[in-house]
Amino acid sequence: MPSNDNERYPVEACGDDLITIGVRSPAEAQSLVEALRETGAWREVVAGIASVVVQFDATTIPVDGASERIRDLLAKGISPIGLSDVLFEIPVEYGGEFGPDFDDVCRQTGLSGEELIALHTGREYRVDLVGFTPGFAYVGGLDDKLNVARRDSPRQRVEAGSVGIADGRTGLYALPGPGGWPLIGRTAFRLFDPSADDPFPIRAGMRVRFISTGDVEAGS
């Protein structure tokens, strides 16, 4: 990330205790999040696709002071996240009850179920960003033929392990919760293990490959 470029990375207050920092890529967002968390100066730091939101203690520092600290950090430069040597092979059961939008994605893309799976499992990916909800992984590099939009009506609950695709990425739900990604399958891989030293094993920069666990099952 280049040094002190306030036009490229605008810093703006968006509440009494919140600041938004604009970034140009998920990789920049994740790099900035890690740098901010290392300082230990913030209540919470959350990454997004095009921004980072910082919550600070407004009783101990004014918003102008918090913004200045962030600009000072940007001026020092942020080290980009490199590509990890770790490769996670994530098994996915596509279609059926685990992929309720699988058939609709096939209709939108004009692909057969077998073609959709072949494209999704046919390459290695990189985790661009972890955010939105704890452990939710944005996995970049989706084939253009699989590019579909998010659902018009988000679901109130998406089960943990669900695999969705939208806007050129795969989304991995580590925890259950609301979500609007079209769901094409689910993994039995534990994206959240509270008993482990590292409860969320997927991190930005890691390499990912999806493996089909069986024949596609029609959802309708």
Lowest mean pLDDT among 7-11, 63-67, 196-200: 7-11
Query: Does a structural domain hold residue 219?
Result: no
pLDDT tens profile 141-176: 999 999 999 999 999 999 999 999 999 999 999 999
pLDDT at 185 (0 to 100): 97
Domain count, the chain: 2
Reduce the secondary structure of 126-155 to three states and give it as a string.
EEEEECCCCCCEEEECCCHHHCCCCCCCCE
Please tell me whether residues 197 and 91 are part of one structural domain.
yes
Across the range 5-23, mean pLDDT stands at 83
For all residues of the chain together, what is the average pLDDT? 88
Reading the block at residue 39, the tokens are: 């300082």
How much is the average pLDDT of 105-126?
Answer: 96
- Which residues, 6 or more positions from 104, have their beta carbon under 8 angstroms from its beta carbon? 182
pLDDT tens sequence across 37-85: 888 899 988 887 788 899 999 999 999 999 999 999 888 887 776 667 7
By three-state DSSP, how is residue 57 classified? coil
Same domain, 187 and 127: yes
Give the pTM.
Answer: 0.76
What does the pLDDT average to over 93-116?
96
Whole-number pLDDT of residue 3: 43
Q: For the CA atoms of the chain, what is the radius of gyration?
A: 19
- Decide: helix, strand or coil at residue 91: strand
Indicate the residue among 51, 76, 101 that finishes a domain: 76
* Stretch among 71-80, 127-136, 209-218 having the lowest mean pLDDT: 209-218
Q: Please, are residues 94 and 167 in contact by the beta-carbon 8 Å criterion?
A: no
Question: Which CATH number fits the domain that encloses residue 117?
Answer: 2.40.100.10
Report d(CA 52, CA 29) in Å as an integer. Answer: 6
Domain that holds residue 207: 87-212
Residue-level pLDDT at 159: 96
Report how far residue 102's alpha carbon sits from residue 164's, in angstroms, rounded to the nearest whole number: 9
Q: Tell me: do 100 and 206 sit in the same domain.
A: yes
Query: In percent, how much of the chain has pLDDT > 70?
Result: 93
Residue 151 domain-assigned?
A: yes
